[in-house]
Amino acid sequence: MIRLAQVDDLDTITALAKKVKKNMIETGLNQWIGNYPNYDNFYQDFQRNGLFVFLLDNQIVASMSLLKENDPPYLVLKWESNHALVIHRILVDPDYQKQGIGKKMISYAAEYGKTKLYTAIKIDTHPDNFKMQNMLKSLNFVYRGYLESINRFAYELLL
């Protein structure tokens, strides 16, 4: 089940992000550095009604932020849509990965975007995050270019 996060979920999401980040580092992916992402990032997304959680047996096992487009680094690329939602900070508990949860979250984002009359979903990922890149391609996202200012590859899915 996917739902909007509640304020009581923020500590759980923050702890999950730390677990995911630790797993990324252990597998050689340094996508998130320093104290990112942290409670404040998730709280801001929550305040914008853009923080979602995936529940399995009433336990949060994944999270994503789905926000209106306003990312200055994205302005350097040519996109097909200028009315999009952007996925940020998508994470799945390492104990629950490879079960299709990430795909379900992104598919949910696409359906949600359609109901709100957006024309695309955008996302970026670290150049070394091959698992995410392969998943995005399998979901028909199109590579739009490299975001040099944040060292990310950018993708777009037209709705």
CA distance 133 to 130: 5
pLDDT at residue number 127: 97
Beta bridge partners of 64: 52
pLDDT at residue number 33: 84
Q: Which domains does the chain have, with CATH numbers?
A: 2-158 (3.40.630.30)
pLDDT at residue number 80: 96
pLDDT at residue number 108: 98
Strands 84-92 and 120-125: parallel
Q: Which residue has the tokens 């849509």?
A: 81
pLDDT at residue number 73: 94
Q: And the tokens for 157? A: 């899915």
pLDDT tens sequence for the chain (159 residues): 999 999 999 999 999 999 999 999 999 999 998 899 999 999 999 999 999 999 999 999 999 999 998 789 999 999 999 999 999 999 999 999 999 999 999 999 999 999 999 999 999 999 999 999 999 999 999 999 999 999 999 999 999
Amino acid present at 66 = L
Helices H, strands E: what count in the chain? 4, 7
Half-sphere exposure of 4 (CA within 13 A, CB side): 11
* pTM of structure: 0.95
